[in-house]
Amino acid sequence: MTLIHLKTSYLEKFVHSQEAEQMRPLVEAANQELREGTGVGHDFRGWLDLPANYDHDEFKRIQAAAAKIKADSDVLICIGIGGSYLGAQAAIEFLHSSFPLQSNLPEVVFCGNSLSGTYLHDLITWLGDRDFSLNVISKSGTTTETSIAFRILKRLLVKKYGEKGAAERVYATTDRERGALKTEADAAGYECFVIPDDLGGRFSVLSAVGLLPIAVAGGDIEALMQGAAEARRDYADLSLTDSPYAYAVMRNILYRKGFVTELLENFEPNLRMLGEWWKQLMGESEGKDEKGIFPASANLTTDLHSLGQYIQQGRRNLMETMLWVKHPAADQTIPADAENLDQLNFLAGKTMNYVNEQAFQGVVLAHTDGGVPVMTLELPDTSEQTLGYVIYFFELAVGISGYLNGINPFNQPGVEAYKRNMFGLLGKPGYEDLHADLQKRLQD
């Protein structure tokens, strides 16, 4: 019995049962390649066994660092981009209320994920004179967005606490031995955490990349790892129909029929960032060699009042995967009203979760009738255990899905193109020819 439940029965009118059956040998081959390390990109499969094989000594250091930050900081600023922040922010939102409730915990905020000077200025203004620490996260150690934000915030930290005090408040999560950040961290004496060589950024949330910020925000990282370990055990069994394998199969069948965009949707605002994390995981893994499902996300019922029209009746190239939380963290009962001017008394005594569930079921059927294939994934709750399980579900699904679609799901060669151009335009040493070429193209 798995913790989360994939429902594919709404796909009946889009996928015939024999189509899924015919994919079976392909899934078995993909699974074998993945598990035996014979497929492309096999050096980056560390996530597959991470929930069982993580570094327990480092895990204790993460817990100790989190305790120190909780004791000496009002704010933890996480600096990183892409895989170096999305998972942590998604997890913190997933596990916590949309509003700050536990005033005894530091606020965890994120930056270095854009080049907006306004954003960083506003963050520094908001920070004011509060005590803070920095967690700078970069696998390469050379990412421009991250490096700029770190340089600016480090200066602020030194001004406030002096060189030595500042060094005790910087936590660097980076490569074990390579990169500018590692060199600087060693020279300055920052506490370092490792992003293992065999983990791509988008698969790194269950390493120190995600664990330190999540722990500082009050998340139970042991339960998180246990949830992922449980999924790893459950999904060792390829015979499960309710699984990442079934998800990978269905989305690939649909993709080949022209459903080229997948929307991951939620009905709880605290799952919004999970959609952002998922978009990177799927998009960066699958969008290559001129193919791949385009990953998008929507927050319901909010976006039914903006995107709903398009989904219901627009171009028929969409599929949807809807996340449904069976037991959300809290609820509200709708009161009776003697005057009933808003005509809501037919709902008096019902809860908002009940109404949300009717909306969920109604939208599944409406979109199916409108020609949009829908899968649902039911989560029991928004606990750490469930989150770990869900993370592993999608990581495994994208590994299988990538191999089914004949691409390397573990590299990201396309991410470099804009970086090269940016370095050229900024005049970074070594990029002089590119600088001249790009300037000419822009002037033309």
Cβ atoms < 10 Å from Cβ of 160? 15
We find the least distance from the C-beta atom of residue 413 to ligand PA5, in angstroms, to be: 11
Task: Give the pairing type, strands 5-7 and 374-379.
Answer: antiparallel
Q: Does 84 bind ligand PA5 (CB under 6 A)?
A: yes
User: How far is residue 208's CA from residue 59's CA, in Å, rounded to a whole number?
Assistant: 8
Length of the chain: 444
Among the candidate windows 25-33, 78-86, 220-228, 435-443, which touches ligand PA5 by CB under 6 A? Answer: 78-86
Determine if 139 is a binding residue for ligand PA5 (CB under 6 A).
yes
- Cα–Cα distance measured from residue 111 to residue 273, given in angstroms and rounded to the nearest whole number: 15
State the number of CA atoms in the 13 A half-sphere of 280 facing the CB: 20
373 belongs to the binding site for ligand PA5 (CB under 6 A): no
Give every CB contact of residue 197 below 8 A, 6+ residues apart in sequence. 43, 46, 175, 176
- 144 scored as a contact of ligand PA5 (CB under 6 A): no
Span interacting with ligand PA5, options 154-162, 198-206, 248-256, 351-359, rule CB under 6 A? 198-206
Confirm whether 5 is a catalytic residue.
no
Min dist CB 240 to ligand PA5, Å, is 28
Interface pick for ligand PA5 out of 39, 41, 46, 200 (rule CB under 6 A): 200
Inter-residue contact 92 to 217 (CB < 8 Å): yes
Task: Give Cα separations from 342 to 301, 336, 345, 349, 357 (angstroms).
Answer: 20, 11, 8, 15, 21
Q: Is-catalytic flag, 284?
A: yes
Closer residue to ligand PA5 (CB): 269 or 414: 414
Distance of CA 4 to the CA centre of its chain: 18
State the nearest-atom distance from the C-beta of 254 to ligand PA5, in Å: 25
> Is 320 among the residues known to form the active site?
no
Q: Which of 51, 106, 201, 227 binds ligand PA5 (CB under 6 A)?
A: 201
- Region of 132-140, 186-194, 225-233, 263-271 interacting with ligand PA5 (CB under 6 A): 132-140
If one asks whether residue 82 binds ligand PA5 (CB under 6 A), the answer comes out as yes
List alpha helices for 37-104, DSSP H.
46-53, 56-72, 86-95
CA distance 366 to 312: 7
Least distance from C-beta 6 to ligand PA5, angstroms? 25
**Residues in contact with ligand PA5, shown as a per-residue x/- string from 414 to 443 under the rule CB under 6 A:** -x----------------------------
Q: Is 146 in the site for ligand PA5 (CB under 6 A)?
A: yes
412 binds ligand PA5 (CB under 6 A): yes
User: CB neighbours of 66 closer than 8 A, spacing ≥ 6?
Assistant: 212, 215, 216
**Near ligand PA5 in 231-290, by CB under 6 A:** 284
Check 305, 339, 416, 440 and give the catalytic one.
305
Give least dist CB 291 to ligand PA5, A.
19
382 touching ligand PA5, by CB under 6 A: no
Least distance in Å: CB of 47 to ligand PA5? 12
| Least distance (Å) between residue 188 CB and ligand PA5 | 18
Q: Where are the alpha helices (DSSP H) in 132-286?
A: 144-167, 180-188, 208-216, 221-234, 244-256, 272-286
User: What gap in Å lies between CA 127 and CA 391, rounded to an integer?
Assistant: 31
Instruction: List b or e across 279-314, with b for residues whose CB sees 16 or more CB atoms inside 10 angstroms.
Output: bbbbbbbbbbeeebbbbbbbbbbebbeebbeebbee
Contact present, 202 and 280 (Cβ < 8 Å): yes
Is 115 a residue that touches ligand PA5 (CB under 6 A)?
A: no
DSSP three-state, residue 291? strand
Burial (CB count <10 Å: 0-12, 13-18, 19+), residue 332: exposed
Q: Which CB atom, from 136 or from 231, has the smaller least distance to ligand PA5?
A: 136
Q: Does 401 bind ligand PA5 (CB under 6 A)?
A: no
Residue recorded with tokens 């620490």: 133
Q: Tell me which stretch binds ligand PA5 (CB under 6 A): 39-47, 197-205, 260-268, 344-352.
A: 197-205
Contact positions vs ligand PA5 (CB under 6 A): 81-84, 138-140, 143, 146, 200-202, 284, 412, 415
Active site residues: 284, 305, 419
